[in-house]
Amino acid sequence: MTYSTQQASPLAAGALVTVIGGAGFLGRYVVEALAKAGCRVRVVSRHADSALFLKPLGDLGQIQVVSGDIRSDTDMAAAFAGAAAGVNLVGILAENGQQKFATLQAEGAGRAARAAAAAGAVGYVQMSAIGADAGSRIPYARSKGDGEALVHAAMPGAVVLRPSIVAGPEDQFFNRFAAMARLSPVLPAISGESLFQPVYVRNVADAAVAGLTRSDAAGRIFELGGPDVLSFKAILEMISDLTGLDRPVVGFSDFTSSMLARLGDVLPFMPMNSDQLAMLKLGNICAPGMPGLVDLGITPTPLSAYLPQMMQRYRRGGRFAKAEQAA
């Protein structure tokens, strides 16, 4: 990916970028993209050993892995010491134990940004989500909105990225429902008409790099979605087709959906919990007029470019399934 020569990068060659929460699904792609852009990368994870797999994504010594907790002022100060820029990827889809939305996605986001500002960082990217709203009654959305506000209070020039459902080889959306199709005779279309705009994980990673390297991005909010806008029902039908499992997609009533979501509040293997159902009903597409991937110089990747290959492993016979059926 190339950027306009008229937009000078605020990062010098070999600049150190701290990535908080870099050991997750999106993190590996952000770290790889930063390394390819010539940055030195410091990956901060609560359990550093879980992030060691990232080191081969860069040259020798280019990627450093350290332990740190976004709930600790001391850890964040150490994480950003000497850093020219930062990226915060910390986020959860459901609360569990001490992992709370407000603690991580609001207070933690503000703490990381304040530490980056105190360290003199010149660039910052906060990974948020479509639907972020400090006034929302939904705890997930409210914490994301509060986090954005705290980040901008600490670093007015911070770039906020709000992706739709992030899709890619290790995602917890397409893979979750494809795995469900293997075990269940039907696929449940809970709030089946709700719209999604899945965005390819590498596009989101490139957007994080662009947020640090494009001077015209500073202080702005970008909503990131792919070129395909599909209902939840259509996505499930696509999964059923691409896996070759031919599972019927069954629509559920609001009452049944609510009951299933309440079970999801206590049973982690359920398809969604109450907060996720509430967010699903709102839809997950980019707001009209909001800047997005194209404004960051990135061409959105369609589902057809990567989803069929992702779904191959769920087919009977894997990637050789079609050949076996044709024989």
**Cross-strand partners of 221:** 160
| Single-letter code of the amino acid located at 106 | A
Rounded to whole angstroms, how far apart are CA atoms 279 and 259?
16
User: Is residue 268 in some structural domain?
Assistant: no
User: Is residue 257 in some structural domain?
Assistant: no
For residue 280, count other CB atoms closer than 10 A to its CB. Answer: 20
Residue with tokens 């202080």: 219
Expressed as residue numbers, the domain containing 38 is 16-166+198-225+286-299
- Of the candidates 167, 157, 150, the residue with the CA atom closest to the CA atom of residue 226: 167
Q: Supply angle C-alpha 121, 293, 174, rounded to 5.
A: 105
pLDDT tens for the chain, residues 1 to 327: 333 333 345 677 899 999 999 999 999 999 999 999 999 999 999 999 999 999 999 999 999 999 999 999 999 999 999 999 999 999 998 888 889 999 999 999 999 999 999 999 999 999 999 999 999 999 999 999 999 999 999 999 999 999 999 999 999 999 999 999 999 999 988 888 999 999 999 999 999 999 999 999 999 999 999 999 999 999 999 999 999 999 999 988 888 878 877 877 777 666 677 877 888 888 899 999 999 999 999 999 999 999 999 999 999 877 666 544 433
- Of the candidates 20, 29, 74, the residue with the CA atom closest to the CA atom of residue 53: 29
User: Is residue 153 in some structural domain?
Assistant: yes
Can you give the pLDDT at residue 8? 41
Cβ atoms of residues 190 and 277 within 8 Å:
yes
Indicate which CATH number applies to the domain containing 134.
3.40.50.720
User: Is residue 317 in some structural domain?
Assistant: no
User: Is residue 326 in some structural domain?
Assistant: no
User: Is residue 94 in some structural domain?
Assistant: yes
Cβ atoms of residues 139 and 151 within 8 Å:
no
- Tokens coding 211: 């947020």
**Cross-strand partners of 161:** 127, 222
Distances (CA, A) of 96 to 177, 215, 247: 22, 38, 32
DSSP letter for each residue of 149-187: HHHHHH-TT-EEEEESSEESTT-SSHHHHHHHHHH-SSE
User: Is residue 281 in some structural domain?
Assistant: no
Rounded to whole angstroms, how far apart are CA atoms 295 and 203?
12
Can you give the pLDDT at residue 207? 98
For residue 262, count other CB atoms closer than 10 A to its CB. Answer: 14
- Of the candidates 211, 204, 205, 212, the residue with the CA atom closest to the CA atom of residue 32: 205
Report how many domains make up the chain.
1
Rounded to whole angstroms, how far apart are CA atoms 75 and 68?
5
Sequence-ordered list of residues with C-beta below 8 angstroms from that of 324, at least 6 positions apart, any chain: 317
Distances (CA, A) of 310 to 84, 202, 206: 36, 14, 20
User: Is residue 28 in some structural domain?
Assistant: yes
- Tokens coding 321: 């399934």
